[in-house]
Amino acid sequence: MQSRELGTSGLEVSALGLGCMGMSYHRSVLLSPDEASSLLRTAVDLGVTFFDTAQVYGPFTNEVLVGQGLAPVRDGVIIATKFGLCDADGNPTVSSRPELIKETTEGSLRRLGVDSIDLLYQHRVDPDVPIEEVAGAVKELIDGGKVKYFGLSEPSADTIRRAHAVQPVAAIESEYSLWWRRPEDDVLPVCEELGIGFVPYSPLGRGFLTGAIDESTTFDDSDNRNTLPRFTSQARRANQAIVDLLRDLGVQKGATPAQVALAWLLARRPWIVPIPGTTKRHRLEENLAAANVDLTSIDIADIDRAASAITIEGDRYPADVAKRTGL
């Protein structure tokens, strides 16, 4: 697989990464350590070098799975993790106090089994801690050799600018796909201006854009899609039009809807690196094959024109969760 540089940071990763959350958090099927290791190593064999986890996934269990699964190939991969949604004991909290950042980073280092974290994101902006203090704390960790690169998840354009002035930001991780394009308004432009890479999470709309989910699909009680307004039966029925668009183009390209959705993201900017997640090998192989789907400028224009005529129904998050994002 080809590699991409995240902005102008010097951090090179595979053009498609692997989001690891669903292996142990927020999804119906959770993987055992052996199953997770097998999937992670298969991803490496297929060319993936970029893996995404977070302290709150579990909490903590996902970092352990990723650390153990990638230990034999550690020198050849980039692991990103995130702080700010749980304390050092795993209790849920939105806090980016500098002392807590440093304390929880020590825990991440232990769980991942590394001396330095490749890419450390603030998971969500803390309204009670100025972003300058957050960036300053990460800068100290970078200066001390415990972190290599700094990132932010779901920040506003203003937050990005303020953080970048203290410690250069290598990557922004936010939701971005054909059914959530808000980053195009001001976040992607500021990333381009400042030389920051962009990492779309949920690039397949939490599975909806694969075409494998319809209005009759049911989710396990542990699956957080049950709580998302965009995943009510009514919304799924209304939003089927966006899947139909991907499927129609896929027929022309010999590709699946998921592959077209990922290829569309890859075509947006050369510094965009989607991180689709999966727990299934065949889906992993399908997703990674999107790197070989060639969308022309005419294809992109056709997709954008058709997508602009589709109104997506349902908010992506409940109101109490949405207020934590900068978008």
CATH number of the domain encompassing residue 120: 3.20.20.100
| Contact in structure between 15 and 281 (CB atoms under 8 Å) | no
In a domain, 18, yes or no: yes
Q: Is the pLDDT of residue 2 over 70?
A: yes
In a domain, 110, yes or no: yes
| Contact in structure between 209 and 258 (CB atoms under 8 Å) | yes
In a domain, 256, yes or no: no
Q: Is the pLDDT of residue 1 over 90?
A: yes
In a domain, 248, yes or no: no
Q: What is the pLDDT of residue 327?
A: 62
In a domain, 94, yes or no: yes
Catalytic residue check, 176: no
Task: Report the pLDDT averaged over residues 259-273.
Answer: 98
What range defines the domain where residue 11 resides? 3-204+268-293
In a domain, 327, yes or no: no
Count of the separate structural domains present in the chain:
1
In a domain, 249, yes or no: no
Query: How far, in Å, CA of 197 to CA of 146, rounded?
Result: 21
Q: Is the pTM of this model over 0.95?
A: yes
Write down the mean pLDDT value for the chain: 96
Task: Report the pLDDT averaged over residues 187-194.
Answer: 98
**E strand intervals along 147-295:** 147-153, 169-175, 197-201
In this prediction, what percent of the chain has a pLDDT beyond 90?
Answer: 94
H or E element that contains 139: helix 131-143
What is the b/e burial string over 262-288, where b = at least 16 CB atoms within 10 angstroms of the residue's CB?
Answer: bbbbbbbeebbbbbbbbbeeebbebbb
